[in-house]
C-alpha cells in the first residue's frame, strides 16, 4: 500500500512538472514604449495625485478635390485640458515640424502657454496619430488618438465641361453631375449615368474617366458608393457586366508603349438597387487613370435595351490604406 501511494504521488508530480507553464504576456515592450514618452518627474516640488491626459483641437479632418495632388498646408490648433500636471509631451505624427515631439514643463506660478497649446501644420496626404502625455511627481498618463488628423481626396462629382475642366470626361455624354440642370431624385448628390441617351451612342457603353497625378507610392484605397436603378427587371438573371471600374497606369509622355487598362471591379448582378460601398486597394503608382463604365442591358431583336437602368456613383474618395 505504501509503495502504491508513493508511486501515485510521483505520478502526480510528474504530470504537474510536464504541464505547459501558464502564459504570462510580456508587457516589457509596451512599458518601455510608454516610459520613452513620459515618466513621473520624481520631483518633490511637483504636484502629486491622479493625472489624466486630455485635449481639444480645431478641425482636424481635411479633404481636397483636385485630382493632381498638391501640398497645400493646413493648420490644426491643440490645447491641453489636463489638470494637475507638471510635465507635458505632444507627438504630432506627419506634421511639418522638424521634430514631431514637443516636451516641456509647467511652472506652478508661470504656465508655459507654448506647451499647453500648439499650432501645428500638415501638408501630406495621409492619416496621422496625435499623442498627448502628462505627468506629475508620482503619476503619468498617455493618450493617443489614432488617425486623428486626416488629409484625403474627396471627389467634387463634376462632369468635365468648359467651366469644370478638372471633372470626369464623358465622351458619350451619357453621364451627368448633380450640379447640372438635371434632377434625378433617386440619386441625389451623385454622378448619374442615365438609362436613355438620345444620341448615336445610346446602346454603347458609357464611360467617365479621370486622371490622377502625384498621388505618391504609399498604400491607398479607392472608396465609392453606387447603386443601379432598373426600369424593369428580367425574369431570370444573367452574368453580363452592368457596371465596372478599370485602372490604367500613366507613365511619361515620351513613352512609346501603351499600357492596357485592367479591370479592378465589376457588378454583374441585379441586386444593387440600394447603395453599396466598394473599397479597392490601388496599385502603388502615383499617376493613374480611373474609368467607370456603364454597359447597356440585353438587347431585343430591334437592338433596343430590354432592361434599361441608370447608374449612380457618389462619395468617391482616395484614402490611405491601413
User: Is 60 exceeded by the pLDDT of residue 238?
Assistant: yes
Q: How confident is the model at residue 171 (pLDDT cuts 50, 70, 90)?
A: confident
Residues 186 and 299 in one domain: yes
Query: Which of the residue ranges 174-183, 208-217, 307-316 would you say has the lowest mean pLDDT?
Result: 174-183
Residues 116 and 143 in one domain: yes
Backbone angles phi, psi at 288, to 5 degrees: -160, 165
**Per-residue pLDDT tens for 205-230?**
899 999 999 998 899 999 999 999 98
Is 30 domain-assigned? no
Residues 234 and 301 in one domain: yes
Is 22 domain-assigned? no
Which CATH number fits the domain that encloses residue 221?
2.60.120.260
The domain tally of the chain equals 2
Residues 59 and 104 in one domain: yes
State the Cα–Cα distance between residues 147 and 322, nearest whole angstrom: 10
Residue that finishes a domain, picked among 125, 153, 181: 153
Which CATH number fits the domain that encloses residue 126?
2.60.40.10
Of 188, 178, 134, 182, nearest in space to 156 by CA: 178
Question: Residue 110's domain spans which residues?
Answer: 38-153
CB atoms closer than 10 angstroms to residue 82: 18
Residues 140 and 275 in one domain: no
Residues 197 and 305 in one domain: yes
Is 21 domain-assigned? no
Q: Which three three-digit cell numbers place residue 129?
A: 496619430
Residues 75 and 102 in one domain: yes
CB atoms closer than 10 angstroms to residue 238: 13
**Per-residue pLDDT tens for 131-148?**
999 999 999 999 999 999
Residue that finishes a domain, picked among 120, 153, 186: 153
What is the predicted pLDDT for the residue at 316? 98
Residues 103 and 132 in one domain: yes
User: Is 50 exceeded by the pLDDT of residue 5?
Assistant: no
Strands 74-80 and 117-122: antiparallel
Is 20 domain-assigned? no
Q: How confident is the model at residue 13 (pLDDT cuts 50, 70, 90)?
A: very low
Phi-psi region of 219 (alpha: psi -120 to 50; beta: other; left: phi over 0): beta
Residues 186 and 289 in one domain: yes
State the Cα–Cα distance between residues 317 and 170, nearest whole angstrom: 19
Is 14 domain-assigned? no
Q: Which three three-digit cell numbers place residue 203?
A: 446602346
pTM of the complete model: 0.80
**Of 5-14, 35-44, 53-62, 244-253, where does the model show the most confidence?**
53-62
Backbone angles phi, psi at 11, to 5 degrees: -65, -45
Residues 140 and 204 in one domain: no
Residues 52 and 127 in one domain: yes
Is 181 domain-assigned? yes
Residues 120 and 223 in one domain: no
Is 23 domain-assigned? no
**Per-residue pLDDT tens for 277-297?**
999 999 999 999 999 999 988
Residue that finishes a domain, picked among 107, 132, 153: 153
**Per-residue pLDDT tens for 86-132?**
999 999 999 999 889 999 888 655 555 568 999 999 999 999 999 99
Is 59 domain-assigned? yes
Amino acid at each position: 500500500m505504501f509503495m502504491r501511494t508513493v508511486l501515485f504521488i510521483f505520478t502526480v508530480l510528474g504530470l504537474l512538472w510536464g504541464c505547459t507553464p501558464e502564459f504570462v504576456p510580456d508587457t516589457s515592450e509596451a512599458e518601455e514604449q510608454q516610459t520613452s514618452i513620459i515618466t513621473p518627474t520624481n520631483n518633490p516640488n511637483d504636484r502629486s495625485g491622479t493625472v489624466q491626459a486630455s485635449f481639444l483641437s480645431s478641425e482636424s479632418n481635411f479633404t481636397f478635390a483636385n485630382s493632381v495632388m498638391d501640398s497645400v498646408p493646413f493648420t490644426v490648433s491643440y490645447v491641453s485640458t489636463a489638470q494637475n500636471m507638471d510635465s507635458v509631451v505632444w507627438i504630432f505624427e506627419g506634421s511639418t515640424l522638424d521634430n514631431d515631439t514637443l516636451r516641456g514643463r509647467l511652472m506652478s506660478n508661470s504656465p508655459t502657454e507654448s506647451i499647453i497649446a500648439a499650432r501645428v501644420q500638415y501638408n501630406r496626404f495621409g492619416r496621422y496619430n496625435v499623442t498627448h502625455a502628462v505627468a506629475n511627481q508620482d503619476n503619468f498618463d498617455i493618450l493617443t488618438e489614432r488617425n486623428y488628423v486626416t488629409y484625403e481626396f474627396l471627389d467634387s462629382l463634376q462632369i468635365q465641361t468648359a467651366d469644370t475642366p478638372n471633372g470626369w470626361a464623358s465622351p458619350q455624354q451619357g453621364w451627368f453631375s448633380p450640379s447640372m440642370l438635371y434632377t434625378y431624385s433617386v440619386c441625389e448628390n451623385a454622378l448619374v449615368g442615365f438609362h436613355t441617351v438620345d444620341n448615336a451612342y445610346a446602346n454603347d457603353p458609357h464611360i467617365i474617366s479621370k486622371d490622377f497625378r502625384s498621388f505618391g507610392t504609399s498604400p491607398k484605397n479607392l472608396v465609392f458608393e453606387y447603386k443601379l436603378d432598373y426600369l424593369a427587371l428580367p425574369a431570370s438573371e444573367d452574368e453580363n457586366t452592368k457596371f465596372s471600374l478599370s485602372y490604367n497606369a500613366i507613365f511619361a509622355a515620351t513613352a512609346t508603349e501603351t499600357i492596357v487598362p485592367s479591370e479592378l471591379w465589376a457588378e454583374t448582378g441585379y441586386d444593387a438597387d440600394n447603395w453599396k460601398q466598394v473599397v479597392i486597394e490601388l496599385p502603388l503608382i502615383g499617376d493613374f487613370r480611373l474609368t467607370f463604365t456603364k454597359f447597356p442591358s440585353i438587347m431585343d431583336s430591334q437592338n433596343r435595351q430590354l432592361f434599361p437602368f441608370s447608374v449612380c456613383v457618389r462619395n468617391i474618395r482616395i484614402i490611405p490604406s491601413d
